[in-house]
Every structure is written in C-alpha cells, then in structure tokens.
Amino acid sequence: MQQKVVYVEEQEEPPGRCPCPDAFPFSPLSPSLTFRQRHFPLATDNDWHDWRWQLRNRITSLKKLGRIIDLSDSERQAMAFNGATLPLAITPYYASLISPDDSSQPLRRTMVPSVNELLVSQGEEHDPLGEDKHSPVPGLVHRYPDRVLFLVTDYCSSYCRYCTRSRMVGRRKGYNPARWQKALAYIAANPGIRDVLLSGGDPLTMPDEQLDWLLGRLRQIPHVEMIRIGTKTPMVLPQRITPELVAMLKKYHPLWLSIHCTHPDELTPEATQACTMLADAGIPLGSQTVLLSGINDSLETMRRLMHGLVKIRVKPYYLYQCDPILGSAHFRTPVAKGLEIYQGLRGHTSGYAVPNYVIDAPGGGGKIPLIPETVVGREGNDLLLRNYEGKVYRYPDIIGGASRAS
Ligand code: SF4
C-alpha cells in the first residue's frame, strides 16, 4: 500500500550540503537522512531506498517545493507557469541535496525553474538539434550512418531545466511497446545500424520487465552490435540501480551506459554505490556533462567532477556546450570559457579524466569537437606543436623515412 506522505513544518536548521566527494565512498554521512526525517517523517528506510517510493513522492508542485525550500521571487514566478514549459519534478533523494535557502546553489539551479527560462533569446529554438527532421519513424532519430537514437520514453524522475529535449519530455505521450514496434522494425530493416542509443526521457525509469523486453528485441537483430543507454538515474535516483536491474542488464552485453552528471555534489555515497554496481556488472560507464553558467563553468569545479567520476569508474566522455533551447541564455557560457576549462584539464591531469568538449551543431550537423589549437605551423620538415603549458615543440614530420618537401 502506498505510504501517505506527511509534511511537517521545519523545526531545525537546514540539512548540510552534500559531503565532499573526496571523502567518498567511505563517508558515513548522508544529508538525506536528516532531510527525510524532516520532510518525510513517516517514510521508513525501506521506503526511502525504494525507487518506486521515490517516484511516487516526487516534488512536482509549488506547494510541495515551497515546503522544502525557501523560494526566491524568480522561482515563485516561474512556477506560476509550471506546465506551460518543462514540468517540475525532483525526487526526494535529489531534493535532499538541494540547498533550502540558497537559490544560486548549483544543484538547485539545475532543477528549480527560474523566471529566466521564460525569456527567449536570439538563436534559440524549440528543437535546436533538428532531431524531429531526422526522425524516419516516431521516437527514432537517424542522423549518423551507423547508429540511431531511440527515444523510448518521455519520462524522467527529475527534469533538468536545460534539457535539450525540453520540448518533449514530461508530456506523457504514451511511449510504450506498441509505439516501439515501428522503431524496432526500422532498425531491423536497416543493416547499416550497428549501434543503438536508448534515451528519452530516461530509459532507466522504466520497469525491469519493459526494459528487458526492449533489450531482448534489439538483441535479436543480428546487425545491432552495441546498445547504449543514456541516463541520469544514478545521479538523481540511485535507488533504481538494484541487483535485479543489474542482473537483467548484464544479459545484453555489449551494453554501455552514458551517465549524465552535472556537478561534483552529485557524487554522493548513493551515486557511488549505484555506479559501482553497474561497473561491477561489466558495464562500461561514460559521463555526459553540459557546461552550465554559474553551475560548473569553473576549472576547479570541472576538475573535481571529472576526478570524482574517474574514482567511481565513470570515464568522462562528453562535455557539451549547452544547446540553445528556448529560454536557455542564463545557462549558456561563451565557448571561450569551455575552451579555457578544457585547456586547464588537458595535459594537467590524466587523459582518462578529460572529456571531449563538443558542440552539437544546431540544425542537425552532429557533434563537432572544440579543440584549442595545438598545431601552430611548420618549418621545413618540422611540425610546430604547442603543448599544455603553451610551449612550442618540433616534430619531424617525415613519412616513410624520406623528408617531405616544404
Ligand atoms: S534526465 Fe536527461 S532527458 Fe531527463 S530532463 Fe534531464 S537532460 Fe532531459
């Protein structure tokens, strides 16, 4: 039976921020317990660790949010339009990481609407990546020759305010096996497709049985060599990573996971445990991070995030320049800032901790890497290369033992 949720007035000091990720995975501290006792006093341990309980008790309204955090004027005004734009949803677990009194706290800004998202700026678009025009059947984007993006659900446990697919997620459009059939038929009919990325929405919010069915169908298609799942679940709903889910996913290797992470404060003991379970099941884990103004656009924050990810066996994979969706200007940084951060990582830390910095080209051009200039010229047979410290080195660019004419 569903547990009735009772909200009580705040009586104590707000819970502390997420402990430093450097302490993980050994720190026994968890801000979620204090939060739970205050805001969900009837919830048992079992409830809190049950992903379905977390989904049933998501914070989705101004009233619920206002009981948990001290809303700023901007947040309150934005909530008056909730429903007209991307919906609000935050799992109780993730809400426990959000500052109740600081509206500029990075995790809070990623989840709580602000009035800025109602302002549309030049160059912003509903579907900046042109996904809809590269969609041969509903829910499938076929942009690159050998791989497809399969949008299997429009549901997420928590909605990121900068979501590239804010035009479609959270709309409850009935993504289900009946809808998937056309996409599966398209994949089966196109032998050039060797890689299928399941995304949405967040595929790991689906029940095990549905996911099992879908993965099983994909594995029956001989030319599908690899399956990837794009998800934010380990960061916003780590309770979802159960032994049963992991055992099911293991059946479908080679299966890769791309985990959406935003800030080092997300790397809690719970998220660490979720990633550890997935990695122990032999699932290669990569990360995807969107560069966001005032949230993670400093070298120090990005370095902590990338180092924290490597420590929990997640390879930093992509750092995205924020897509120009409607109302995203307050999240976007100049590309120069991203290049500066990239340059501050490359060479200064392990290559495994350096993601590819990319722009997903507006209009559907695909991902374009942004790389600071390293080839600075040529002198005779020598290629002039700039290293991570800005020093120039010569490389004898001779092919087959013979000098190349200059
Ligand atoms: S989890 Fe992914 S799909 Fe869902 S709202 Fe966040 S960015 Fe969008």
Domain 132-369: top CATH class? alpha beta
Angle at 159 between CA 74 and CA 362, to 5 degrees: 90
pTM for the model: 0.89
Ligand 1 pocket, 204 CB below 6 A? no
Ligand 1 pocket, 259 CB below 6 A? no
Q: Are 391 and 381 in contact (CB under 8 A)?
A: no
The residues that are catalytic are 143-144, 147, 156, 160, 163, 165, 323, 360, 367
Ligand 1: which of 160, 166, 172, 173 to mutate, judged by most atoms within 8 Å of the beta carbon?
A: 160
From ligand 1's centre to the CA of 162, what distance in Å? 8
What pLDDT was estimated at residue 25? 38
* pLDDT in single tens digits along all 406 residues of the chain: 333 333 323 233 333 333 333 333 333 446 688 899 999 999 999 999 999 999 999 999 999 999 999 999 999 999 887 666 789 999 999 999 999 999 999 999 999 999 999 999 999 998 999 888 899 999 999 999 999 999 999 999 999 999 999 998 988 776 778 889 999 999 999 999 999 999 989 999 999 999 999 999 999 999 999 999 999 999 999 999 999 999 999 999 999 999 999 999 999 999 999 999 999 999 999 999 999 999 999 999 999 999 999 999 999 999 999 999 999 999 999 999 999 999 999 999 999 999 999 999 988 889 999 988 889 999 999 999 999 999 999 998 987 655 444 4
Ligand 1 pocket, 260 CB below 6 A? yes
What pLDDT was estimated at residue 398? 81
From ligand 1's centre to the CA of 377, what distance in Å? 42
Residue 399 belongs to what H/E stretch? none
End-to-end CA distance of the chain: 79
> Omega into 294 within 30° of 0, i.e. cis?
no
Ligand 1 pocket, 232 CB below 6 A? yes
Closest-CA residue, ligand 1 atom 5, reads 159
What pLDDT was estimated at residue 372? 85
**Which CB contacts under 8 angstroms, 24+ apart, belong to 243-249?**
243/277, 244/208, 245/204, 245/208, 245/211, 246/277, 246/278, 246/280, 246/281, 246/283, 247/281, 248/208, 248/211, 248/212, 248/215, 249/211, 249/215, 249/278, 249/281, 249/283
Q: Domain ranges in the chain?
A: 21-109, 132-369, 373-406
What pLDDT was estimated at residue 157? 97
Ligand 1 pocket, 331 CB below 6 A? no
* Residue type present at position 291: L
Distance CA 285, CA 281 (A): 11
Q: Which of 212, 222, 154, 211 is nearest to 187 (CA)?
A: 222
What pLDDT was estimated at residue 203? 97
Closest-CA residue, ligand 1 atom 8, reads 163
The helix/strand/coil state of 230 is strand
